[in-house]
């Protein structure tokens, strides 16, 4: 039996291959005598100084593939942590209907907002890297939540982890410790949408909770989109609000929503469809006829609809 040194020498001597490693399509032998990747041009092998034999090494393509796998793993972890926050989510069926396909750009104001929202989605990688968000503000019914929803749904369709919630929902438990446990999960989202900012109660305790949420997102340098009916962000004198507003305005671009109330326009359209039905006397006899129908007949009729 040989000594440990001789065994190690024999092991090292057998390492590697006497000839070049198998080449993929496009690979070539470079000026340094080593096999190079035909795609990135970096070496795919090197020679061991102890025996002159060839062993493999990662080329640029391998490094890129590993980085993609690491990013995919991070994305899965972020998505899982965001799913843990579903009880705080406002992404209901109405919110999921907010898509660019349903965005009615009837005038220049609507087209301005639509273009801005699409550009934010298109350049989200840069927005995320910069921690850049948006602040939609304006009168009720002007489409602030719809615009934020279009962005959120477009990004979620690209598998970007997005949390859609509100400060009212996040702070509903009224427990500072519970909120502190939520903040790391909240920050797992690459984008956080806070709807109806300013609707929370104006108390000292609630103000501290609002600051905790905004400051945690600000410190994490991750983007947030807020919708609000509030005005006067730059003129408020209350120090509790001032420190919150300063952080928001530092990282969120204000987007004024000056259009007409979408809710009022849609309500008027609905009333226009309903009025003829209400004036139409033919509807009443049909109802009377249904009342005269026996219950078992109504069930049978209903089963064929």
- Min mean pLDDT across 68-82, 142-156, 286-300 is at 286-300
CB neighbour burial string for 102-126, b if at least 16 within 10 angstroms, e if fewer? ebeeeeebbeebbeebeebbeebee
The residues facing 254 across adjacent strands are 135
CB of 228 within 8 A of CB of 137? Answer: yes
The model's pTM: 0.64
pLDDT at 119 over 90: yes
The predicted pLDDT at position 275 comes to 77
- Min mean pLDDT across 148-162, 213-227, 232-246 is at 232-246
pLDDT digits (tens, 9 = 90+) for 69-101: 888 887 777 777 667 666 677 777 788 889 999
Measured CA angle at 90 (ends 173, 146), to 5 deg: 140
Task: Please state the rounded mean pLDDT for residues 256-265.
Answer: 71
CATH (residue range 89-262): 3.40.50.300
The predicted pLDDT at position 185 comes to 84
d(C-alpha 119, C-alpha 151), whole Å: 10
pLDDT tier for residue 292 given thresholds of 50, 70 and 90:
very low
- Min mean pLDDT across 2-6, 51-55, 71-75, 299-303 is at 299-303
Domain residues of the chain, as ranges?
Answer: 27-48+55-83, 89-262
CB of 251 within 8 A of CB of 132? Answer: yes
pLDDT at 11 over 60: no
d(C-alpha 275, C-alpha 257), whole Å: 31
Q: Cα Rg for the chain, rounded, in angstroms?
A: 31
**Of the spans 5-19, 80-94, 105-119, which averages the highest pLDDT?**
105-119
The predicted pLDDT at position 117 comes to 97
| Strand runs labelled E in the chain | 28-29, 35-36, 45-47, 54-56, 133-138, 162-165, 191-197, 224-228, 252-257
pLDDT tier for residue 266 given thresholds of 50, 70 and 90:
low
Higher pLDDT, 3 or 299: 3
Order of strands across the sheet that contains 191-197: 162-165, 191-197, 224-228, 133-138, 252-257
- Min mean pLDDT across 10-19, 253-262, 287-296 is at 287-296
CA atoms within 13 A on the CB side of 266: 7
d(C-alpha 217, C-alpha 191), whole Å: 10
pLDDT tier for residue 228 given thresholds of 50, 70 and 90:
very high
The predicted pLDDT at position 290 comes to 41
pLDDT digits (tens, 9 = 90+) for 13-45: 557 788 888 888 999 999 998 999 989 999 998
pLDDT at 295 over 50: no
pLDDT tier for residue 141 given thresholds of 50, 70 and 90:
confident
Q: Tally Cβ neighbours within 10 Å of residue 254.
A: 14
pLDDT at 1 over 70: no
d(C-alpha 283, C-alpha 222), whole Å: 56
**Of the spans 35-44, 127-136, 154-163, 236-245, which averages the highest pLDDT?**
127-136
CB of 125 within 8 A of CB of 179? Answer: no
pLDDT digits (tens, 9 = 90+) for 173-216: 766 788 888 888 889 899 999 999 988 777 788 888 899 999 99
């Amino acid at each position: 039996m040989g000594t440990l040194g001789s065994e190690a020498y024999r092991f090292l001597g057998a390492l590697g291959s006497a000839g070049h490693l198998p080449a993929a399509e496009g690979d070539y032998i470079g000026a340094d005598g080593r096999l190079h990747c035909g795609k990135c041009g970096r070496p795919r092998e090197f020679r061991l100084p102890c025996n002159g034999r060839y062993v493999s090494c990662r080329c640029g393509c391998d490094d890129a593939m590993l980085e993609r796998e690491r990013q995919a793993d991070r994305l899965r972890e972020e998505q899982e942590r965001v799913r843990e926050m579903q009880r705080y989510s406002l992404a209901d069926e109405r919110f999921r209907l907010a898509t660019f396909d349903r965005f009615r750009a009837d005038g220049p104001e609507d087209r301005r907002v639509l273009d801005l929202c699409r550009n934010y989605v298109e350049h989200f990688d840069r927005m995320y890297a910069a921690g850049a968000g948006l602040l939609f503000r304006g009168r009720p019914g002007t489409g602030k939540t719809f615009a934020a929803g279009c962005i959120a749904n477009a990004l979620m369709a690209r598998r970007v982890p997005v949390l859609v919630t509100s400060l009212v929902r996040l702070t509903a438990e009224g427990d500072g410790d519970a909120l502190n446990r939520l903040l790391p999960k909240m920050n797992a989202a690459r984008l956080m949408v806070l709807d109806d900012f300013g609707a929370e109660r104006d108390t000292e305790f609630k103000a501290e909770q609002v600051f905790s949420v905004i400051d945690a997102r600000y410190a994490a340098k991750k983007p947030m989109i807020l919708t609000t009916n509030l005005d006067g962000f730059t003129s408020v004198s209350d120090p509790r609000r001032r420190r919150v507003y300063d952080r928001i305005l530092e990282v969120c671009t204000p987007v004024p929503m000056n259009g007409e109330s979408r809710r009022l326009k849609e309500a008027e359209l609905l009333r226009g469809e309903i009025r003829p039905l209400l004036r139409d006397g033919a509807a009443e006899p049909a109802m009377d006829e249904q009342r005269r129908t026996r219950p078992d007949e109504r069930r049978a009729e209903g089963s064929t609809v």
